[in-house]
Structure 1
């Protein structure tokens, strides 16, 4: 299918895509009713207005409470000053702003290099991005995932385009809010960016100390109790847990083997280190960060479906590699991966995740992440400055190789 060649045709197609996307998002099943925003909102209000303790609060009618470090609660303090509708609106607005940044950073260089019409290409990319299940879940839960991904990828941009001396601050802040992004400090270390790794670690420590100063009792409770209490987060075997630990818990629901999990984690980390170092050596920071996001999803004990926004950059990298090399087969694989991550297929086994069919289907997103971690193509570096390379549509040139 060819893109419309007239401005009117492009406007009509973009409008139809936007309307279809909005209708789908407004009617799609599994909308989460801003559950996590309610947890954040209730926790902060109970802490500030009723003298409650951060990790004692449970959302009424549930056994779910605040699971992030105290610094995250400090960042959410403004919620104590606003009403519930505004809290939801701000949550959606922050996710939308983070999504716009991610599209600009990830897709923008591709659009410029290929010579596509920017407004139309971004409109199509925005609709496709919004349909991804992890993105839908992040917005409808009111999660902070997209904001954290944007903080981390801001450092990837700094490493790619400069000034690199500031790279690490975003990773440090994201780590202080939620521990999973700490693996990106590991990426900086294994790729020889000791200064940036030190800045990221230092930023995380300072932010954590701010949380400790603001809520010393809560900090003690988090690091000694709440962090280790997985019951606060959910069941390991629940089908939404698309991590290696989730696979093992569904195979062996009663006391899953910790040894098997540790061996699997070590194998994934070995592949990640090898591939991430190779990407960094070629100057391809975006692929290095994409591989690290995949590793984070796999090795984290709990990776809910909405956490898989960390896997989204790898799909962009795969599509970009296909376009650079003129490889239709890679484009087909990137489209297939995209459709899988839109499909909500794992929920078919929501009520029964046992048996051979469940082993394949209920863990679909795990297999996708593993496949991408192992086979994501390395890319030849291409300048991100749009003036440094003529648009492909304007020149005759062969595949990038």
Structure 2
């Protein structure tokens, strides 16, 4: 018990003093966009946070889902975002690792979860990544509606769309059809509610990937970010080739994988191929980390966890030149590549299989 309390205190001290506080910035983008749209006759993609160049970047369906923000004050919106992320975190931990052995287990796992930089940033920005991950992880539990949660996540934000292809590649054709139909229906709802912004998003905004920020910024831990920090050698052609290679590796591995491994591989691949993968988007690597733990690779999972807690990439925030800068500023990219290439198959030690049996399994 003293060791657990010490870990809780150390986690609280760390999160209060070491990480950068993001000031709910993304939540205020959502909040300002919805309030401008509902109360002031503004357009979804014209709003920018005062003093910045940043505005709403998700499909219109996401703005429709966020309409309740129009009825909230800023403090209430912050509280609602925190509560939603706490609930999503509980769902994710339960889905990935199953039931803990008493409150000590929950306390330890909760601390380790909160220390992860993508998780910290998701809370601090007021982001939605944990909610979307929870939807994808729980999707297989929906019975005849399995696929619907993945479709909603893909309609809300494009990164989870790769999980629809995962369902198709692994022979879950009915679930893939439900996911695709749900995504199309949700997108149609967004078009019905906001036809002008929908036409603008799908015709223009979607293709301007630099509208969310400079692709070479160190927080962009994707293949596109790596090439941008190198000065874009080969331009779009080299990036397209790198994406194609990753997708081929992913498709080959995921076709031979069980459900858990497939989810882990898809999360890693999605982070790599997205044009922009900010650090807080890396919550999609959590299934791969959990898979390492569940398969008994404790040393590897510890190394991956420490790296993803370290915020090491920010050392090269202002200068990523030279060999060390190339390696360090892209540290999370190399982690995603490693997880994609070496995520373990289900052949885990018997003790580890017994310990983790019963959670995060598809029907």
Q: TM-score, normalised by structure 1?
A: 0.85
Partner of 2:80: 90
Partner of 2:269: 295
Structure 1 residues 168, 391: closer, same or farther in 2, change over 3 A? closer
**Is the CA contact (8 Å cut-off) linking 1:35 and 1:142 kept in structure 2?**
yes
Partner of 1:3: none
**Is the CA contact (8 Å cut-off) linking 1:103 and 1:122 kept in structure 2?**
no
Partner of 1:350: 317
Residue 313 of structure 1 and its aligned partner are, at CA, apart by 1.3
Provide the C-alpha distance between the structure 2 equivalents of 1:169 and 1:18, rounded to a whole number of angstroms.
Answer: 37
Report whether the alignment pairs 1:185 with 2:155. Answer: no
Provide the C-alpha distance between the structure 1 equivalents of 2:87 and 2:238, rounded to a whole number of angstroms.
Answer: 40
Match of 1:338 among 259, 282, 305: 305
Provide the C-alpha distance between the structure 2 equivalents of 1:104 and 1:240, rounded to a whole number of angstroms.
Answer: 29
Q: String of CA shifts for 1:35-61, please: whole Å, max 9, x gaps.
A: 000100000000001000000001100
Question: Secondary structure of the residue that 1:352 maps to in structure 2?
Answer: coil
Unaligned 5+ residue runs, structure 1?
Answer: 1-9, 112-116, 323-329, 384-388, 393-401
Provide the C-alpha distance between the structure 2 equivalents of 1:56 and 1:391, rounded to a whole number of angstroms.
Answer: 52
Q: String of CA shifts for 1:267-289, please: whole Å, max 9, x gaps.
A: 11111111111113xxxx11110
Provide the C-alpha distance between the structure 2 equivalents of 1:20 and 1:84, rounded to a whole number of angstroms.
Answer: 30
Provide the C-alpha distance between the structure 2 equivalents of 1:296 and 1:147, rounded to a whole number of angstroms.
Answer: 16
Partner of 1:137: 121
Provide the C-alpha distance between the structure 1 equivalents of 2:7 and 2:124, rounded to a whole number of angstroms.
Answer: 20
Partner of 1:386: none
Provide the C-alpha distance between the structure 2 equivalents of 1:228 and 1:64, rounded to a whole number of angstroms.
Answer: 16
Provide the C-alpha distance between the structure 2 equivalents of 1:211 and 1:241, rounded to a whole number of angstroms.
Answer: 28
Structure 1 residues 107, 391: closer, same or farther in 2, change over 3 A? closer
Alignment of 1:185-334 (within 5 A): 185-253=164-232, 257-280=235-258, 285-322=259-296, 330-334=297-301
Alignment of 1:373-388 (within 5 A): 373-380=340-347
Residue 166 of structure 1 and its aligned partner are, at CA, apart by 2.1
**Is the CA contact (8 Å cut-off) linking 1:249 and 1:256 kept in structure 2?**
no
Report whether the alignment pairs 1:79 with 2:69. Answer: yes
Deviation >3 Å, runs of 4+: 380-383, 389-392
Match of 2:93 among 97, 103, 110: 103
Provide the C-alpha distance between the structure 2 equivalents of 1:95 and 1:136, rounded to a whole number of angstroms.
Answer: 11
Provide the C-alpha distance between the structure 1 equivalents of 2:223 and 2:210, rounded to a whole number of angstroms.
Answer: 18
Q: String of CA shifts for 1:79-101, please: whole Å, max 9, x gaps.
A: 11110001011111111100001
Residue 182 of structure 1 and its aligned partner are, at CA, apart by 0.5
Partner of 1:63: 53
Partner of 2:361: none
Report whether the alignment pairs 1:38 with 2:17. Answer: no
Provide the C-alpha distance between the structure 2 equivalents of 1:144 and 1:84, rounded to a whole number of angstroms.
Answer: 17
Residue 382 of structure 1 and its aligned partner are, at CA, apart by 11
**Is the CA contact (8 Å cut-off) linking 1:276 and 1:291 kept in structure 2?**
yes
Structure 1 residues 46, 353: closer, same or farther in 2, change over 3 A? same
Report whether the alignment pairs 1:125 with 2:115. Answer: no
Question: Secondary structure of the residue that 1:332 maps to in structure 2?
Answer: helix
Question: Secondary structure of the residue that 1:301 maps to in structure 2?
Answer: coil
Provide the C-alpha distance between the structure 2 equivalents of 1:377 and 1:99, rounded to a whole number of angstroms.
Answer: 24
Question: Secondary structure of the residue that 1:188 maps to in structure 2?
Answer: helix
Match of 1:19 among 4, 9, 20: 9
Q: TM-score, normalised by structure 2?
A: 0.94
Residue 359 of structure 1 and its aligned partner are, at CA, apart by 0.9
Question: Secondary structure of the residue that 2:257 maps to in structure 1?
Answer: helix
Provide the C-alpha distance between the structure 1 equivalents of 2:323 and 2:252, rounded to a whole number of angstroms.
Answer: 32
Provide the C-alpha distance between the structure 2 equivalents of 1:104 and 1:307, rounded to a whole number of angstroms.
Answer: 20
Structure 1 residues 256, 92: closer, same or farther in 2, change over 3 A? farther
In terms of Rg, which structure is larger? 1
Residue 134 of structure 1 and its aligned partner are, at CA, apart by 0.3
